[in-house]
Structure 1
């Protein structure tokens, strides 16, 4: 799934801990110069370089091809970029995040994380856009997502704009919208994952066996077992998305 860059801009703008500076987007010539060494860069990271150029997560820099002198920002092409990985960020826990160069798919490279203490490595996101989304979810106390289906979505994109004008929520707005619907108070085993263009809520189970089915509920606070008084939309969030007439993403 391609990342929705409009929603990604929203996430970057409102997420505490993600810092960018105006006017530092990298020109195409700089990006191409980096690619002359690395090969094609992942689509959403390339977008980040053009739009922002550089930034940081809780004060720890995200690598860029031509770091500004004196700021201590790691260059994309430093000596950590070997071994089939291109490292672009290291956090305060000594975990390094990088692109898996051997796993390109649809113009993106998945992001892996490696402990510099143990050397252990594991998957983190499907793309750089997914990396920022999952990082935001974790920073907001949502882990990778409130259920496996939403976690899978966030590994690729910070939400989806729907054809009817609605949206599947990203982690940057998830808490506020669930609070507005009073979900934890009235339906604690459920979660609001989106809203349609008519103001209805899109719900999935947070707990229980079936955490992949999607339901639409008319505006108003949910009650107890949402499935008892909501319209079922399908048994799988991603099958439902595939059936939509051209959802707006990326």
Structure 2
């Protein structure tokens, strides 16, 4: 899925664990200069470089760009020689060297994004942790929020590509930076402890999915005012009885390009 850059901006601006410096990001000319050395960069990483001055997500340092004409190349620069090895471009690392994160340049999606692989610092083994750079940031924030990779497998898969989606038709699916806040605001853990509010339809109804059980793919729509009338622990029954089954394929529903 194509990363939703509006949601990525919201995540960056609302997550204190993303270290940001004052000022704007790198000029486009710096990005183009870097691309002459390391190849075309994924769109969501280009956005990160040009729109933010962010250098860290939690404990993970993210490579930056420097003025190619006036600044001596630093070891932490994206264009440092050690970062590009074959078809792997290392763009982030743990300060203690326990793990690094690289773009798998041998795999490119239709939107020009590369999967992100985690490389173990001890044995060199690889694990795909996200499908896009935006997904990498999303997963890191989910881990920081105690959400693991995601609250259920479907949402986890979505977050591996984009930190939520805002559709032109008003449908919103929340990223990890809003998830706990939104669920707490609607008292979902108290009213429906086995369910979660994954988004809204833009018309006053919530989109609910199960956290546990066999069916963690169905998405139900229920007016949030009706849900609020539930007694503690009975919200799930209300969702099932009064809610509308929207889809059993959330990713398919969101399959078009999100709002720019």
Match status 1:100 vs 2:99: no
* Deviation readout 1:49-91 (Å, 9 max, x if unpaired): 1112542123643102328979x77111221321321111112
Sort the Cα spacing of 1:40 and 1:169 in 2 relative to 1 into closer, same or farther, 3 A.
Answer: same
Provide the secondary structure at the position in 2 that maps to 1:164.
Answer: coil
Are the equivalent residues in 2 in contact too, given 1:61–1:73 (CA < 8 A)?
A: no
- Per the alignment, residue 51 of structure 2 pairs with 51
Picking from 89, 92, 102, the partner of 1:89 is: 92
Matched residue SS, 1:22 = coil
CA distance in structure 1 between the partners assigned to 2:223 and 2:75 by the alignment = 49
Q: CA deviation at 1:37?
A: 1.1
Q: Could you tell me how far apart the structure 2 residues matched to 1:247 and 1:81 are?
A: 30
Asked if the contact 1:3/1:249 (under 8 Å) is kept, the reply is no
Instruction: Give 3-state SS (helix, strand or coil) of 1:112's partner.
Output: strand
Which residue does 1:209 correspond to in 2? 214
Q: What residue in structure 1 maps to residue 16 of structure 2?
A: 16
Runs (4+) off by over 6 Å: 67-70
Q: Give yes or no for the alignment of 1:228 onto 2:211.
A: no
Give me the whole-angstrom Cα distance separating, in 2, the residues matched to 1:146 and 1:16. 21
Give the match for residue 163 of structure 2.
158
- 1:92-136 Cα offsets, whole Å, 9 max, x none, are 561101101111112101111011022221001111111111110
What do you get for the CA RMSD once the two structures are aligned? 2.2
Q: Can you list the C-alpha shifts for 1:15-42, whole angstroms capped at 9, x where unaligned? A: 1210112324111211111111111111
Distance 1:104 1:174, change over 3 A: same
Give the conservation status (yes or no) of the 8 Å contact 1:24–1:54.
no
State the TM-score, normalized to the length of structure 1. 0.91
Q: Provide the C-alpha distance between the structure 2 equivalents of 1:233 and 1:44, rounded to a whole number of angstroms.
A: 30
Measure, in 2, the Cα distance between the counterparts of 1:4 and 1:20: 20
Counterpart position of 2:77: 75
* 1:70-149 superposed matches below 5 A: 74-78=76-80, 79-92=82-95, 94-106=98-110, 107-149=112-154
Deviation of the 1:208 alpha carbon: 1.0
> CA separation of 1:247/1:122 partners in 2, compared to 1, >3 Å: closer, same or farther?
closer
> Comparing 231-240 with 159-168, which one deviates more in the overlay?
159-168
- Going from structure 1 to structure 2, the CA distance change for 1:9 and 1:33 (only over 3 Å counts) comes to same
Contact residue 125 and residue 134 of structure 1 kept, 8 A: yes
The number of residue pairs the alignment matches comes to 247
